[in-house]
Chains A and B, each alone.
Chain A
Amino acid sequence: MKLKKNIPLIDQHDKYGFWGGKFGGSFIPETLKKPVEDLTKEFQKLRKNKKFINKRNFYFKNYIGSPTSFVKLENLSKHLGGAQIWAKVVSEANGGAHKIYNATVHALICKAMGKKYIVGDTGAGYAGKMLSMAAKKFGLKCKIFMGAKDIKRQKPNCDAMKKNGAEIVPVYSGSQTLVDAVSECMRYWVSNCDNTHMAVGSTVGPNIFVKICGWSTSQISRELKVQIKKKFKKIPKKIKLINCVGGGSSAYGFWSEFIDYNKNQIELIGVEAGGPKKSKLHAAPLSRNAKIGILHGAASYVCQNQEGQIKETESISAGLDYPGVSPIHCFLKDTKRARYTYATDEDALNAYKMVTKFEKINPSLEPCHAFAEAIKIAPKLSRDTIIIVNSCGDAKKDRDILKQRLGKK
Chain B
Amino acid sequence: MTNSLIGQAFKNAKNEKRTALLTYTVAGDNTKKKSLEILKSISKYADICELGFPHNTPIADGGQIQTSAYRAIKNGIKINDVFSITSKFKKFKKNKPIILMGYYNMIFQYGNDKFIDKCKKSKVDGLIVVDLPYPENKTFASRCKKKGINFIQLVSPTTSKKRLKQIIKDSHDMVYYISMLSTTGGKLKESPKRILEKYYKIKALNKSKNVVIGFGITEKTIKSLNKADGLVVGSAICRVITNSVNKRQNTVTNVTNIVRRLKKKMK
Contact = CB atoms under 8 A, between A and B. Distances in A.
B186 A295 contact: no
Nearest to B73: A309
Contact of A191 (B108, B130, B155, B186): B186
Contacts of A310: 56-57
B57 A34 contact: no
A190 B181 contact: yes
B62 interface: yes
A193 B57 contact: no
Given A29-B130, A33-B163, A307-B106, A179 B57 contact: yes
A295 B158 contact: no
A82 interface: no
Contacts of A25: 136
Contacts of A27: 104, 131-133, 136
Contact of B183 (A190, A302, A309): A190
> Majority SS of interface residues in chain B?
loop
A31 B181 contact: yes
A297 B131 contact: yes
B249 interface: no
Contacts of A306: 109
> Majority SS of interface residues in chain A?
mixed
B160 interface: yes
A170 interface: no
A308 B181 contact: no
B87 interface: no
A186 B109 contact: no
A33 B158 contact: yes
Contact of B55 (A34, A296, A308): A308
B177 to A, nearest CB: 10
B60 A29 contact: yes
A186 B103 CA distance: 15
B125 to A, nearest CB: 21
Contact of B59 (A34, A194, A296): A296
A306 B110 CA distance: 8
B159 interface: yes
B70 interface: yes
Interface in A26-68: 26-35
Contact of B156 (A31, A192, A307): A31
Contact of A35 (B78, B154, B158, B183): B158
Contacts of B109: 291, 293, 304, 306-308
A194 B134 CA distance: 20
Given A295-B105, A297-B59, A304-B105, A29 B186 contact: no
A193 B159 CA distance: 13
B239 to A, nearest CB: 17
Given A174-B57, A293-B105, A26 B181 contact: no
A305 to B, nearest CB: 9
Contacts of B62: 187
Contacts of A302: 105
Nearest to A294: B105
Given A28-B131, A187-B60, A193-B181, A307 B104 contact: no
30 contacts: A26-B136, A27-B104, A29-B59, A30-B134, A30-B154, A30-B155, A31-B156, A31-B157, A32-B158, A33-B159, A34-B159, A173-B70, A183-B57, A183-B58, A186-B59, A187-B183, A191-B182, A191-B186, A194-B158, A194-B181, A291-B109, A293-B105, A294-B104, A296-B57, A297-B131, A306-B109, A307-B78, A308-B55, A309-B57, A309-B73
Interface of B: 55-62, 66, 70, 73, 78-79, 103-110, 130-134, 136, 154-160, 163, 178, 181-183, 186
